[in-house]
Amino acid sequence: MYISRHMTTDPITVSPAMHLPEARALLNDYHFRHLPVVDEQGVLVGMLTDRDLRSAYPSSVLSDSESRLVYERVEKTEVAEIMSTDCISLTPDATLDDALYLFDRDQMGALPVLEDGQVVGIFSIRDLTAAYKTSFGVGEKGAVLIGLDDDGSETILTRLVTLFEKERIPFTRLLRIKNKTDGDAIYIRINTFKIAAVLEILEDNGFSVKRFV
């Protein structure tokens, strides 16, 4: 689960010398929220966000005359003056877990992906959500997630896999999760429309079904 497989490649970038109205137009036209700022060699020098631009433009509480003055100043302002220069980034061989940690720690919406200092991609929260959806089989045809109580035995996963293979029950994901609040559980994503039969097989073989969705 590497970033290189899920990032947006060849992202649109802007120059530090670009004026704010032009950068704002790019964000609006392409429905972006983040733009990497690069120098003439393509090296990252900053990040510009829609929040940065909103802060630069006049507030709705200003008078018309005050707003005109702010707009005049904004039209002459370059990206370099408001961009963030303390940039956190990823590399193409970083993992989805690396991205999740950084998003959670720094409350970022997107991260540039760098290789030898060059911007080769951008990875957003939306990319992360799509990647995990694919990785865990969410939305696959006939896919059902079954939760089982975890009895804590060292052989429970082996017994489950052996049973599914014996009964020819197709499954694609197997997770064992520790949870002090709701109790430890094992989750299996199976691909079948015969869910009632699968539940019966599990219960007949001593497994306690916790939930399924």
What integer pLDDT is reported at residue 66 of this predicted model?
Answer: 62
What integer pLDDT is reported at residue 76 of this predicted model?
Answer: 81
| Exposed / middle / buried, residue 143 (Cβ in 10 Å: 0-12, 13-18, 19+) | middle
Residue 13 has pLDDT above 90, yes or no: yes
**pLDDT tens column, 85-119:** 988 999 999 999 999 999 999 988 999 999 988 99
Rounded percentage of the chain residues whose pLDDT exceeds 70: 91
CATH 1.10.1740.10: does it fit domain 138-212?
A: no
**pLDDT tens column, 105-162:** 998 899 999 998 899 999 999 999 999 888 877 777 778 888 898 888 889 999 999 9
What integer pLDDT is reported at residue 182 of this predicted model?
Answer: 75
Where in the chain are the domains?
A: 3-133, 138-212
In three-state secondary structure terms, 17 is coil
> Model confidence at 73, in pLDDT bands (50, 70, 90)?
confident
Residue 188 has pLDDT above 80, yes or no: yes
Architecture of domain 3-133 in this structure: Roll (3.10)
What integer pLDDT is reported at residue 67 of this predicted model?
Answer: 61
Give the mean model confidence (pLDDT) for residues 33-54: 91
Buried b (16+ CB within 10 A) or exposed e, 69-108: eeeeebeeeebeebbeeebebbebebebebbeebbeeeeb
What integer pLDDT is reported at residue 151 of this predicted model?
Answer: 86
User: Comparing 40 with 73, which gets the higher pLDDT?
Assistant: 40
User: Comparing 141 with 2, which gets the higher pLDDT?
Assistant: 2
What integer pLDDT is reported at residue 45 of this predicted model?
Answer: 94
Nearest-angstrom CA–CA distance, 58 and 5: 40
